[in-house]
Amino acid sequence: MLDIIEIQKILPHRYPLLLVDRVDSMEIGKDIVAYKNISISEPAFQGHFPGHPIYPGVMILEGMAQAGGILALKSAGFTPEEIEQKVIYFMSIDNAKFRHPVKPGDKLEYRITILKLRKNLIVLDGKAFVDDKLVSEAELKAMIMDK
């Protein structure tokens, strides 16, 4: 399990674009389960949509990508010092689907599985759930680069 302090040592993102609150489980080289609590105070809700708040799909995909980034950096065998000098660039997001709306008060759970891993390249199967109901899915491809 990783808390927000440990996550910030891995990911360069900060508010309002740090979209992983905690990692519940991670098997290096295999998968990760992480989550974000969706609050009405999210900046995206100011305009998406007033009076009918729906968490934007692009933010769900970004959260999946960030959880996948944690998994990729931890699985690539880098030391903590090396991780600080790396960044993940997402190359493609394929077959993205949005199954159900995500609303304030939801706990958005990211379940990410590695499909392919090389030293600097990773392909991930990303799924997002609310209350064990699939809300979004996509295949994510990323490259680990030096900062």
Given a cut of 90, whether residue 138 has pLDDT beyond it is yes
- Known active-site residue 13: no
- Domain coordinates of the chain in residue numbers? 4-146
pLDDT of residue 119: 79
Is the pLDDT score of 64 beyond 90?
yes
CATH, range 4-146: 3.10.129.10
| pLDDT for position 25 | 98
Q: Is this structure's pTM higher than 0.85?
A: yes
Which of 78 and 32 is assigned the larger pLDDT? 32
pLDDT at 90: 94
Q: Is the pLDDT of residue 12 over 90?
A: yes
Q: How far apart are CA 4 and CA 38, in angstroms?
A: 15
65-116 residue pLDDT tens: 999 999 999 999 899 999 999 999 999 999 999 999 999 999 999 999 999 9
Q: Give the integer Cα–Cα distance in Å for 142 and 126.
A: 12
- Kindly report the average pLDDT of the chain as a whole number: 96
Average pLDDT over residues 9-33: 97
pLDDT score recorded for residue 15: 94
Which of 13, 48, 52, 100 is catalytic? The answer is 48
Q: How is residue 56 written in tokens?
A: 């934007």
Is residue 98 within 8 Å of 136, Cβ to Cβ? Answer: yes
